[in-house]
Structure 1
Amino acid sequence: MAEQPETYPITYGVLGLLAFGGSMSGYDLKQAFDCSLAPLWNATHSQIYNQLRRMLVLGWVEMERHEQESRPDKKVYQITQAGRAALGAWQTQQPVRGLQMRDEVLLRFIFGSFAEPQALAITLRAAIKDHEQRMELYRLTAQRLPPTPPGNGALAGQNTGSEPDPFFVELARFAIMFEETYLHWLQQAMAFVEARIASESHRTT
């Protein structure tokens, strides 16, 4: 008997998006990741296609080829009943650790005693600009969240076809609150570093 491929959190991210989106290509899934799941999980094109191949072997998705003029055939994927069952079973597994941050800005900041304050200020200004852009993206995303798939999970029978999925609504709220908090801290950190720059300038004059 052939060994079954391993699955990872990103596997279920792809599976969940297919449960919401119906028929989707790898490109469609990448767009959905960038628009819907960016606050909690990033995925490259190659990672998404690796998961699709893995799920084809598992029987969790089906693939159809759509012919295109002057271009390679487009591969479109759909979740299967086995895939929906796997998505539900994953929710019952032992919970894993929550948020695990790997943030180079924070890593640089904590070792700020070994940095020139001006260099640290450049890092913080870039981070502020980046998180302001993320905040704008998440606010825009919150205006076009997907509706709950009909007859699905805990909200079966409650979907109106137009109301955004309440779990996506809560995630969007989390993403915006997180960025607000992070930006507030970055601005305080910037003021702290600028005060050190001013203090050093005063001592050298």
Structure 2
Amino acid sequence: MKGGAVMEPREAYPITYSILGLLAIWGPLSGYDIKRLFDHMLSSMWGAAQSQIYKELRRMREIGWVEMEREEQESRPDRKLYSITAEGLSALRKWQTQPPEVFQLRDEMLLKMLFGSFARSADLAQSLRASIAEHETRLLVYRQNTQAIAGAFPRGDKRYNPYSDENAEDPYFGLVTHFAVEFEKTYLRWLYEALELVESREKPAPSDMGES
């Protein structure tokens, strides 16, 4: 077909497999539930807007990777609950055989620091303090990640893991949580070091008041 590339109906992206993975572990879930899990569970590695999630759910339903059922509610509109299908689970497993893309860190604070010679030291220090506050909050959230996920759904259901015993902890979830915590601790150390250097450049040079 002329006039530009056409997206294959089964073309998938990291957000696609993220949703499939959440449904495989937690499902069935609503789009709102999936967004909450993205915010609590995946924010350290992948973010997603509500509109992106619903777009992917519609597309995956069309290609047979998820199915949807309506759950009636007395005082609210019906909930649309999505579940992963056998074909969706197969796609999730196939994705695991593909090599991941090379890690790329995109961080505006690093860019600001790289071009710090074009900034006032006071402005750079202010940006660093804001980043410190943000990453200290993120570190606290990640340290509480397991508890946050456990309380994310008041249904009382246990998190389903098809590869472990019913009462076993998921070791892979723990590994990623550990990475998120260690990354934030490392980044915070660097931020404090950078702030110390920048603040030292703010101080005026000592005057030679002893000279006549």
Aligned to 1:115: 119
- Select the residue among 79, 88, 92 that pairs with 1:87: 92
Aligned to 2:180: 175
Aligned to 1:63: 68
The TM-score normalised by the length of structure 2 is: 0.85
Q: Does 1:36 align with 2:31?
A: no
Report deviation, 1:149: 3.5
Q: RMSD of aligned C-alpha atoms?
A: 2.1
For residues 1-205 of structure 1, what are the structure 2 equivalents within 5 Å? 4-98=9-103, 100-143=104-147, 149-150=160-161, 152=162, 156=163, 159-199=164-204, 202=206
Aligned length: 195
Conserved in 2, the CA contact under 8 Å of 1:15 and 1:79? yes
More relative contact order in 1 or in 2 (CA 8 Å, sep 6+)? 2
Question: Which ranges in structure 2 are unaligned for 5 or more consecutive residues?
Answer: 1-7, 151-157
Give a deviation string over 1:115-169, Cα, whole Å, max 9, x none.
Answer: 011000110000000000000000000346677744x3xxx3xx23233310000
2-structure distance, mates of 1:94, 1:193 = 40
Counting aligned pairs with the same residue, the percent is: 49
The TM-score normalised by the length of structure 1 is: 0.88
Q: Cα distance 1:89–1:148, how it changes in 2: closer, same or farther (>3 A)? A: farther
Give a deviation string over 1:75-121, Cα, whole Å, max 9, x none.
Answer: 110001111101001111233212x1111111111111000110001
